[in-house]
Amino acid sequence: MGKFQVISHPLIQHKLSILRRTDTSTKDFRELVDEIAMLMGYEVSRDLPLEDVEIQTPVAKTVQKQLAGKKLAIVPILRAGIGMVDGLLSLVPAAKVGHIGMYRDEETLEPVEYLVKLPEDIDQRQIFLVDPMLATGGSAILAVDSLKKRGAANIKFVCLVAAPEGVKKLQEAHPDIDIYTAALDEKLNEHGYIVPGLGDAGDRLFGTK
Ligand code: PRP
Ligand code: URA
């Protein structure tokens, strides 16, 4: 079974509380998602493999460490996942970025995929699949299906708020992936929204409602 980790650093908890508030503006919401993603990135990238590299300092030749071989791809699930990309890129600027477009049908709550655009060598990359919300789990499961169909093998799913129902479904469907969240909330409501959650992440990020 992959790792499941709630990254509950005090800075993350503080920022997440502001993010959840109804009266937080679109501008602040966007900045907070960016900052929280960056803070989570520190922990999510903890086990990236290193290799030796010989370098010359002004004083001597020395063998030190650098990130090894297989490189990273950050893959946001559109729309809301886009808000987490820059924060992670600020830590690993050389990462490639793929996109998976998906929306939840409001009646059935089933995800509908409308775009997949990934780096060609996605099968050789460590992937950070990002979406602020893990609710029923449908979108994350379909996104991982889509990545695996294209050869991806090394996937970490990173979200900000998760419902227990979604975590369970994602773990059952894809037991090999690691899941990181900033908060594990109480439950889903009858409309498939996370309680207490933060509302519709895409709408709040882009100001569409
Ligand atoms: C939201 C969110 C996730 C999905 C989670 O996207 O960003 O992708 O719902 O729900 P699930 O776990 O039940 O699948 P939404 O469908 O609202 O699309 P949007 O980001 O384009 O607004
Ligand atoms: N998608 C969201 O944006 N918010 C929720 O609470 C559930 C799904």
pLDDT of 68 reads: 86
pLDDT tops 70 at residue 132:
yes
pLDDT of 128 reads: 98
Give residue 139's pLDDT band: very low, low, confident or very high (50, 70, 90): very high
The mean pLDDT value for 24-33 works out to 98
CA angle 101, 107, 112 (to 5 degrees): 20
- Can you tell me which atom of ligand 1 is nearest the CA of 101? 21
178 carries an active-site annotation: no
pLDDT of 71 reads: 86
Q: Whose alpha carbon is nearest atom 2 of ligand 2?
A: 200
Is there a binding annotation on residue 20? no
Which uninterrupted H or E stretch holds 159? strand 154-162
Q: Is 166 in the pocket of ligand 1 (CB under 6 A)?
A: yes
How far does the centroid of ligand 1 lie from the alpha carbon of residue 104, in Å? 6
Distance CA 93, CA 45 (A): 13
Other Cβ atoms within 10 Å of 33 Cβ, number: 27
Instruction: Tell which residue, 180, 183, 174, has the closest CA to residue 46.
Output: 180
Return mean pLDDT, the chain. 96
Answer for the pair 192, 136: CB distance below 8 angstroms, yes or no.
yes
pLDDT of 3 reads: 96
pLDDT of 104 reads: 86
21 carries an active-site annotation: no
Give residue 209's pLDDT band: very low, low, confident or very high (50, 70, 90): confident
Distance CA 166, CA 150 (A): 23
pLDDT tops 70 at residue 69:
no
pLDDT tops 80 at residue 33:
yes
The mean pLDDT value for 62-82 works out to 93
pLDDT (tens digit per residue) in 105-123: 888 989 999 999 999 999 9
The mean pLDDT value for 167-172 works out to 98
Identity (one letter) of the amino acid at 100?
Answer: I
Distance CA 46, CA 30 (A): 25
Structure tokens at 43: 């922990």
Q: pTM to 2 decimals?
A: 0.96
Q: Whose alpha carbon is nearest atom 22 of ligand 1?
A: 202
Instruction: Collect all residues with Cβ–Cβ distance below 8 Å to 188 and sequence separation of at least 6.
Output: 135, 136, 163, 165, 166, 194, 195
